[in-house]
Amino acid sequence: MSTAADCLIFARWIITIDANQPVLDNHALAITGNRITAILPASEAHELTAAKVIELPDHALMPGLINTHGHAAMSLFRGMADDLPLDSWLNDHIWPAEGKWVNEEFVRDGVELAMAEMIRSGTTTFSDMYFFPNITAKAATRAGMRAQLAFPVFEFPSNWGQNPEEYIHKGLQVHDDNKHNSLITVAFGPHAPYTVADPTMDKIATLAAELHNGEINIHIHLHETDFEVAQSVKEHGMRPIERLAQRGLLGPRTQCVHLASLNDDDIKTLAAHNCHAVHCPESNLKLGSGISPVQKMLDAGINVALGTDGAASNNTLNLFNEMRTAALLSKGATGNATALPDTQALQMATLNGARALGLEQELGSLEIGKLADVIAVDLSAIEQQPVFDPVSQLVYTQVGHAVSHSWINGKLIMENRRLTTLNIDDIRERAQRWREQIVTS
């Protein structure tokens, strides 16, 4: 065997997220173009020829993490309005700040700040809902990062649009502009049931069904708090999930974010429509929004993925932290130490995220033929010793800072912690300039 590869990576462990062979010891992975072309024992891999060979004797090689919900540009608001409930945080602080500061330059600088942080903590794909998604698309493409952009739709004006018609028109233009971009997919992003009226929901449901034979995603904040649910019952005579089901917005392409206030009937409805749940445990905890019944959803057969939410409500975009919090929270909430085990938490941040985005055939696990979105995590530090089980170390020992390499679409985006497509010093300076402007205004 002398098959040529562009890159051959030898690792102590390969965490495939493939149920047939989940953890491989002393194996190698070959990348040719933008695909994984071989996974085989190290002893056999030495017979391959490769343009570049990387030896990672203390590392776990695994699929890149998929952050299924965030607001990347809001990284520039990190720490600006801490320790407040969601209603006050949003209405009294974040929306006024967005009205004053958010423009194309703000989004570009905030997205680059977020991407630098995400890449350095293992994320290779992120789902984003924010203004000026056209700018985010350009920034992600320049950085070589994979993204789903859910263009926001509101009933009220913002710096990006004046009404639902304009938001939808601009969002569909972003969709058309990126239809041949292999890194970018575009989704409908009706913000939440309390910010989107029935006629707008109906229009989105119709357009989503028509575009690509219904192969376009819908991404929405849903059942984030008990207050949201109570208001919906008061104003519409039904819970938000019932309302969305009635208007045709629930289905196998719908990504439901937060779901911190659910009853058993809500879970049955989500399962019946094959919706995806996006769990953002740290943001929900920080805002006091509630605890999502993740184990109940998993038991009902619902696909549950992980998101960080924005850095303005979480303060970090480290998805490894989110995995650990999700696993511990599920155990504490259920009183069951076996709830959400480490393997399942890791799958939520990888294959389940790919499934939620409709990309499970291409991403989320290390398998021959899949896209080469791969990260390497150094498990040699004292904090990770001894390594009885690499999956346990990845989930429970805070290893985001130990990500050493990242490949996205076969391209080396980070090598030995050095970003190859983003300038950290420049990003840091621009973030500090925004802080000075905001503080002194």
* pLDDT tens readout for residues 36-66: 999 999 999 988 999 999 999 999 999 999 9
Structure tokens, 435 = 């802080």
Which helix (DSSP H) or strand (DSSP E) does residue 348 occupy?
Answer: helix 342-348
Angle at 259 (CA atoms; ends 255, 262), nearest 5 degrees? 130
Label residue 211 by pLDDT band (50, 70, 90): confident
- Given this model, what pLDDT does residue 1 score? 45
Tokens at residue 219, please?
């991404």
Q: Express each pLDDT in 350-396 by its tens digit.
A: 999 999 999 999 999 999 999 999 999 999 999 999 999 999 999 99
pLDDT exceeds cutoff 60 at 77? yes
pLDDT of residue 3: 66
Taking a C-beta distance cutoff of 8 angstroms, is the pair 122, 114 a contact?
A: no
Distance CA 432, CA 211 (A): 41
Determine the Cα–Cα distance for residues 42 and 338; give it in Å rounded to an integer.
34
E strands within 254-392? 254-258, 276-279, 303-306, 374-378
Range scoring the smallest mean pLDDT among 89-93, 203-207, 362-366, 405-409:
89-93
Report residue 115 CA to chain centroid gap: 11
Full-model pTM: 0.97
Distances (CA, A) of 100 to 96, 113, 141, 159: 6, 20, 27, 9
Could you give the percent of the chain with pLDDT greater than 70? 99
Task: Report whether pLDDT(106) > 80.
Answer: yes
Q: What's residue 86's pLDDT?
A: 86
DSSP string, 217-234: -EEEEES-SHHHHHHHHH
pLDDT tops 80 at residue 89: yes
Q: Please state the rounded mean pLDDT for residues 126-133.
A: 98
Residue 2, pLDDT > 70, answer no
Q: Identify the structural domains of the chain with CATH numbers, from first to last.
A: 4-63+365-409 (2.30.40.10), 65-356 (3.20.20.140)
What are the residues whose beta carbons fall under 8 Å from the beta carbon of 440, sequence distance 6 or more? none
The answer, yes or no, to whether residue 21 has pLDDT greater than 90, is no
- What is the distance, to the nearest Å, from the Cα of residue 286 to the centroid of all Cα atoms in its chain? 18
Q: What is the pLDDT of residues 240-263, one digit of tens each?
A: 999 999 999 999 999 999 999 999
With cut-offs at 50, 70 and 90, classify the pLDDT of residue 303: very high
Instruction: Tell me what pLDDT residue 352 has.
Output: 98
Distance of CA 387 to the CA centre of its chain: 28
Q: Is the pLDDT of residue 295 over 90?
A: yes
Specify the pairing of strand 374-378 against strand 303-306: unpaired
The size of the chain, in residues, is: 441
Q: Which helix (H) or strand (E) holds 166?
A: helix 164-177
Q: Name the residue with tokens 């409709």.
A: 358
State mean pLDDT over 313-328.
97
- How far is C-alpha 319 from the chain's CA centre? 8
The predicted structure's pLDDT at residue 212: 73
pLDDT value at position 366? Answer: 97
Average pLDDT, integer, range 324-344: 97
CA dihedral over 285, 245, 199, 256, signed as positive or negative: positive
